[in-house]
Amino acid sequence: MRIVVTGGSGRLGRTLVTGLADAGHEIVSLDRRPTEHLDRAGVTQCALDLEDADATAWTLADTRADALIHLAAIAVPFSAPEDVILRTNAALAQSVLGGAVRAGIRRVVAASSPTVIGYGAPRGWTPERLPLDETSPVEPWNAYALSKLLIEQAVAMLRRQTGDDVRFASFRPCYVITPDEWTGAPTQQGHTVLQRLDDPALSAPALFNYVDARDVAGFADTLLRALDDIPNGEVFFVGADDALARRPLSELLPQFHPGTERAATALTSTAPAFSSAKAARLLGWRPMRSWRTELATAPAPATATSA
């Protein structure tokens, strides 16, 4: 397939583009600035202001692509003023997704976020059940989460407009860890993976969720190939099969998220807070990597001993 990826120069984008190219696809990466990381066979990079709807529509039409994956966004909550995050991410979605439909691209996939669920709300959050899945209620409490829900709703709107002429899906990737971050590079929040394991307070805001970026690339490949065979407009969680934690979440979640005590009892052993069972059921996709497989050694935190 010839696939357009917006935001291909970003953390997830670089790995996703590389994985799709390795799978034999021809990739066109659209971003404000190209990156040397994608200077390789099978990848064409194009510098573009994706908020310019006319330029985006023209460029998408010129690619003659079979599919599009929309990643481009302000990617971190509170990394810009709330109005800027909401306005930017909503404008990008309208420009890119609407432009893809106008360009005649028949497979359109957009990245959302688990934050649409609303965990971490300042006034508290009490889930009805855990693990969370695609049927869990969405209750965004900040502009980033709201912008991601708007992306899902934009996909649903376009599906209603086009029927089955265009095949759509949205996915909610968990906290992305790139290959170099397993070997000590800082993660999105500035901590290493080992630091997030050794200090549960660092992973607690994200409910200890995570996913290897290469597994997201594998998911995207699987999803694009299956779009004609699954219901149109589906939403998927995409996460690792375990939690980024050394202790069960039945212990950790109540410690950091009061109100989860009852629901967290289901999260024994290594069970994560987010379920990717729908992706397994509809697509046959399962993550191949976990922190246990990717960290050659992950020593338990040192414990103080008395003389």
- Number of separate helices (H) and strands (E) present in the chain: 11, 9
Asked if residue 297 has pLDDT above 90, the reply is no
* Amino acid 296: pLDDT: 65
DSSP 146-186: HHHHHHHHHHHHHHHHHTTSSEEEEEEE-SEE-GGGGGT--
Q: In what order do the strands lie in the sheet with 67-70?
A: 43-47, 26-31, 2-6, 67-70, 107-111, 167-173, 234-238
Do 127 and 265 contact (CB within 8 A), yes or no?
Answer: no
- Which residues, at least 6 apart from 166, have a Cβ–Cβ distance to it below 8 Å? 100, 101, 105, 106, 107, 108, 158, 159
* Amino acid 302: pLDDT: 44
**Structure confidence by residue, pLDDT tens digits, 42-101:** 999 999 999 999 999 999 999 999 999 999 999 999 999 999 999 999 999 999 999 999
Classify 136 in phi/psi space as left (phi over 0), alpha (psi -120 to 50) or beta.
beta
Asked if residue 142 has pLDDT above 80, the reply is yes
Q: 158 or 306, which is more confident?
A: 158
Unique residue bearing structure tokens 């992973």: 203
Kindly report the average pLDDT of the chain as a whole number. Answer: 96
d(CA 251, CA 256): 9
> Taking the mean position of all CA atoms in its chain, how far away is CA 39?
24
Do 23 and 221 contact (CB within 8 A), yes or no?
Answer: yes
Asked if residue 307 has pLDDT above 70, the reply is no
**Structure confidence by residue, pLDDT tens digits, 260-286:** 999 999 999 999 999 999 999 999 999
Radius of gyration of the chain (CA): 19
| Domains observed in the chain | 2-178+210-241+274-291 (3.40.50.720)
Do 145 and 121 contact (CB within 8 A), yes or no?
Answer: no
Give the rounded percent of residues in the chain with a pLDDT score beyond 70.
96
Asked if residue 193 has pLDDT above 80, the reply is yes
3-class DSSP state of 99:
helix
